Every structure is written in C-alpha cells, then in structure tokens.
Amino acid sequence: MLIWALTQGGGSPGPCGWLKDRFGVSWQIVPRILPRLLKDANQEAAGRVMKAMMQMGKIDIAALKRAYEGKPVA
C-alpha cells in the first residue's frame, strides 16, 4: 500500500525496494526483518539474503526468509 501511495501521480518503482515519488524524491521501503537478516552472525546466510534482495523489485519477506534458510527463493 505504501509503495502504491508514494508512486501515485508520476512516481516509479525501482530495484531492491527503492522508488521515486512524483517529486523525484527517492525512498527505500525496508521491512523490519531485513537488517536483522543482513547483520546475522551467519555470514553465509546473510549473503544469501543480500543476493536474493538484489534480484527483487518489491522486497518479498517470505523469499528473504527462504534464502536465509538456504531454500530456493523462487
């Protein structure tokens, strides 16, 4: 819903949860769990999360959790 509201009237979505609003201001929508997954002591799992996120437009929390667990994202 927030992405939709910010992109109304000329905004545009971008990669990794980034978007531009109608005034050209850039925003990144970051789910609360993302920093925890990326800063986890298990660097291999954190790396899988980063790799998965870099392939996303809108961030998919369930897919990030699967990547963290070493399961297929898609």
Tens of pLDDT along 56-71? 998 999 999 999 999 9
Number of domain units in the chain: 2
pLDDT at 35: 96
Same domain, 13 and 1: yes
Q: Are 61 and 33 in contact (CB under 8 A)?
A: yes
pLDDT at 27: 92
- The 10s digit of each residue's pLDDT in 5-57 is 888 888 998 899 899 999 999 999 899 999 999 999 999 999 999 999 999 99
Q: Are 51 and 64 in contact (CB under 8 A)?
A: no
Same domain, 16 and 39: no
- The 10s digit of each residue's pLDDT in 9-21 is 889 988 998 999 9
Question: For residues 6 and 20, what is the distance between their CA atoms, to the nearest angstrom?
Answer: 8
Same domain, 18 and 39: no
**Which residue range is the domain that position 65 belongs to?**
31-74
Same domain, 4 and 25: yes
Same domain, 22 and 36: no
pLDDT at 4: 74
